[in-house]
A = this chain, B = another copy of it.
Amino acid sequence: MSNIRHALTARRADDFAAWYQEVISAADLAEESGVRGCMVIKPWGYGIWERIQRLMDDRIKATGHDNCYFPIFIPLSNFEREAEHVEGFAKEMAVVTHHRLIADENGKLIPDPAAKLEEPLVVRPTSETIIGDAMARWIQSWRDLPLLTNQWANVVRWEMRTRMFLRTSEFLWQEGHTAHENAADAKEHTLRMLEVYRACAEDDLAMPVIAGEKPENERFPGAVETWSIEAMMQDGKALQAGTSHYLGTNFAQASGIQYQNREGGQQYCHTTSWGTSTRLIGGVIMTHGDDDGLRVPPAIAPHQVVILPMLRDKPEDEALLAYCEDLRAAIAGTSTLGEKTRILLDKKPGKAAAKRWDWVRKGAPIILEVGGRDMENGTVSLLRRDRLWDANGKPDFSAPAASDATGLIPGLLEEIQQALYNEAAARRDANITRGITSLDELSAFYSGDAKYPGWAEVQWSKPTGAALDAVVEKLKALKLTVRNVPIGAEPVSGTCIFTGEPAAERIYVARAY
């Protein structure tokens, strides 16, 4: 549809990375802060995060977790256990060495040499070790188990190359940590939280995901099992959107998390950990954005409906605003997806057309424009963000009666939520290639003409150790990685494309963020 004048300059099909950056700026989601690797999350971006956070938090609490808060600083000594086993240990982390700032003789600000910390502190890259220490204090007996904790916090990992929402030095996340009596309980919990992530991604973010287990080489260090949800972005790459780890007793042993069991003996707990982050916003952008900006699924839209009165700086404006305010109040009284409908009457000064395109770029699910003629006719001009253009390349307005809007909106929003999911799921399914039976075919497929080749589902013999390393190297040459072994895949029916041995599993391979 070349006659459409899209709201963005960059096109997904031409330059996905440039398009991504443009969406972030055009939808007013975030901006560079001037502090290296750290971003400012602006109201619309942070509002989306608040919605994700609230829905995810409700789901986490519903599985029995309480939230806690642990210190931002971690003593160096907490990393010693980790360093002991690593030759040439080096970690990119922000290290606090002084507790005072002074002006030197020239008036230049410097860390006060007299205020050097005896032991430097690290700004938490995760709270793993400090939560482990707390669990060791809090758990005495089997009666204290399961211990189900979660934390929402900012963390810092010094990054050399950053990309907003996907890889930033500071980011916001939740990390859950749990301790259990035995392996069965802990494994069950690992999968329960994976399911929480799947449900949140698919039902709240309308972002279809594949849940499955990571291969051995992609396991979190120290984990016995690592599970992930993987989403396909519109450039066919995979985004790991959440992980859940079963840690066996490895972390319990490192942190001394023991309990007295029902027979009176001392035993190590089996622990789990799992996390998601502001990276999910990157996933939402790359799943739902189009050449006109972002499209926010109604469940996580800070404002699901925006009313734009077409003000003319004339006395008639007053009646128009009153008409709009009545409409706003009526719709605000309705329920959408089990919550109050979130509606904004945008009274900010400015040209109506400019404001419309601002909200299109931001991706508010429904825009209601109301001008003098609408008011006379008792109608509103309704624009669905998920179906922006008509067949002639014009914005596809409908004109329901204002009195019908109240009854209409909740259903429309729920329809949009589903439509965004369906569209993404159909695209994902269309971009998974099955039936590749050799490494040569795989190589040919990814070296072919397709700009965004998507994922391949292949069968392998589940190699481990050196055999796995060899496979990883072969994939690396194609810039591919194994994403996961999907839960509930078809039974295997052939040979491993890497080793020629009988296949043991189906796996997804893809390029990834």
Contacts and interface: CB of A to CB of B under 8 A. Distances in A.
A76 interface: yes
Interface string A164-185: 0000001010000000000000
Contacts of A34: 75, 133
Contact of A71 (B71, B80, B170): B170
B96 A95 contact: yes
A4 interface: no
Interface stretch (A36-44, A322-330, A383-391): A36-44
Residue of A76, A99, A110, A350 ringed by the most chain B CB atoms within 10 A: A99
A224 interface: no
A72 B156 contact: yes
Contacts of A72: 38, 72, 123, 154, 156, 170
A47 interface: yes
Given A68-B42, A100-B90, A122-B101, A143 B107 contact: no
Interface in A1-45: 31, 33-35, 38-44
Contacts of A122: 101
Contacts of A50: 67
Copies of this chain present? 2
Interface size, A (range)? 35 or more
A495 interface: no
A79 interface: yes
A107 B94 contact: no
Interface in A126-165: 130, 133-134, 137, 143, 149, 153-154, 156, 158
Interface string A65-89: 0111111111111011001101011
A487 interface: no
Interface in A342-372: 348-350
Given A79-B101, A111-B120, A158-B100, A69 B89 contact: no
Contacts of A109: 76-77, 79-80, 83, 89
A97 B98 contact: yes
A110 B133 CA distance: 22
A220 interface: no
A470 interface: no
Contacts of A97: 95-98, 111
A101 B112 contact: no
A367 to B, nearest CB: 19
Residue of A41, A70, A101, A172 ringed by the most chain B CB atoms within 10 A: A101
A96 to B, nearest CB: 5
A266 B19 CA distance: 35
A39 B350 contact: no
A397 interface: no
Given A71-B38, A350-B143, A92 B83 contact: no
B89 A67 contact: no
A71 B35 contact: yes
A55 to B, nearest CB: 14
A102 B121 contact: no
A94 B99 contact: yes
Contact of A66 (B43, B96, B100, B102): B43
B41 A69 contact: yes
Contact of A67 (B47, B75, B83, B143): B47
B102 A93 contact: no
A96 B96 contact: yes
Contacts of A101: 76, 79, 89-91, 93, 95, 122
Nearest to A96: B94
A62 interface: no
Pairs of residues from A and B, 9 with the lowest C-beta to C-beta distance, nearest first: A43-B66, A38-B71, A41-B69, A95-B98, A99-B158, A89-B103, A95-B111, A90-B102, A35-B71
17 contacts: A42-B68, A43-B67, A72-B154, A72-B156, A73-B170, A76-B109, A79-B101, A88-B102, A89-B103, A89-B109, A92-B100, A93-B99, A94-B96, A95-B99, A101-B122, A143-B348, A154-B154
Given A69-B172, A71-B170, 16 more contacts: A38-B71, A42-B68, A72-B123, A72-B156, A89-B102, A90-B100, A91-B100, A91-B101, A93-B100, A94-B96, A94-B99, A95-B98, A96-B96, A100-B158, A110-B120, A154-B154
